[in-house]
């Protein structure tokens, strides 16, 4: 059980692993209930049978110093996707700006392992970023934005995304120290917010992450 493996994919057959075969490990990171009944969770093989708290603690020891934020003034349905992707890239935290409630279905329960923060207003969010020493990098295809493909993202930053449709609020754009846009070549005016978040997070990973630590 020491080798890491890929996250299980949605399939017709049952995913995960059954009850632990043989004598149970004595390591306190393991969950007796999972050892007895099996582990069908959406986690990589290295975390099979681990307690949720143990998984979070282990990820905390190697999280990346970038944060992700998304505005939620119109109950954006993309937040679950953003949270799931942030979890995959071991983001330090995800910040929901605006409404507290969001549709968690797209997160595929990865929110259990991801630090989440809520900020009722953009002003409160930007105050948090300033106090934490995080550069705010806004993502929007507005005039004057720097091409993401040529931009150098700060190592310690928070990637800020707007809502599907209206994009970033004017207040959020004004608070950013850098605004980047994703190069597009087709007819659509914008990319889905969840997709855009994945592209920008992966750009940060390519620029700053130690790929030798990836599963």
37 contacts: CB under 8 Å, gap ≥ 6: 19
Query: pLDDT tens-digit profile of 47-98?
Result: 999 999 999 999 999 999 999 999 987 766 889 999 999 999 999 999 999 9
Short-list 70, 73, 71, CA closest to 84: 70
Structure tokens at 156: 């310690």
pLDDT band at 109 (very low <50, low <70, confident <90, very high): very high
| Mean pLDDT for all residues in the chain | 91
Express as a percent the part of the chain with pLDDT over 70: 93
Residue 189: exposure state from Cβ atoms within 10 A (0-12, 13-18, ≥19):
exposed
Go through the domains of the chain in sequence order and give each one's CATH number.
14-60 (no CATH), 66-213 (3.40.1280.10)
pLDDT computed for residue 76 by the predictor: 65
Q: Determine the average pLDDT of the residues in 143-166.
A: 93
The most distant pair of C-alpha atoms in the chain lies apart, rounded to whole Å, by 63
140 contacts: CB under 8 Å, gap ≥ 6: 162, 167, 168, 173, 179, 181
pTM of the predicted protein model: 0.90
pLDDT computed for residue 7 by the predictor: 45
Q: Determine the average pLDDT of the residues in 172-194.
A: 92
Query: pLDDT tens-digit profile of 13-22?
Result: 678 999 999 9
pLDDT band at 214 (very low <50, low <70, confident <90, very high): very high
């Amino acid at each position: 059980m020491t080798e890491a493996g890929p996250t299980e994919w949605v399939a017709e057959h049952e995913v995960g692993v059954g009850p632990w075969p043989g004598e149970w490990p004595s390591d306190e990171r393991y969950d007796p209930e999972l050892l007895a009944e099996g582990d069908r969770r959406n986690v990589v093989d290295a975390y099979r049978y681990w307690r949720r708290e143990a998984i979070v603690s282990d990820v905390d020891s190697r999280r990346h110093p970038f944060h992700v934020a998304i505005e939620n003034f119109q109950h954006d349905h993309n937040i679950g996707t953003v949270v799931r992707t942030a979890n995959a890239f071991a983001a330090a935290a995800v910040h929901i700006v605006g409404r507290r409630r969001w549709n968690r279905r797209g997160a595929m329960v990865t929110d259990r392992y991801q630090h989440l923060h809520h900020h009722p207003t953009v002003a409160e969010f930007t105050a948090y970023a300033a106090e934490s020493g995080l550069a705010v990098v806004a993502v929007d295809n507005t005039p004057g934005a720097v091409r993401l493909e040529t931009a150098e993202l700060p190592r310690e930053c928070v990637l800020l995304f707007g809502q599907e449709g209206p994009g970033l609020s004017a207040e959020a754009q004004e608070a950013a120290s850098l605004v980047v846009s994703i190069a597009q070549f087709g007819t659509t005016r914008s990319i889905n917010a969840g997709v855009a978040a994945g592209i920008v997070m992966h750009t940060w990973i390519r620029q700053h992450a130690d790929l030798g630590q990836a599963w």
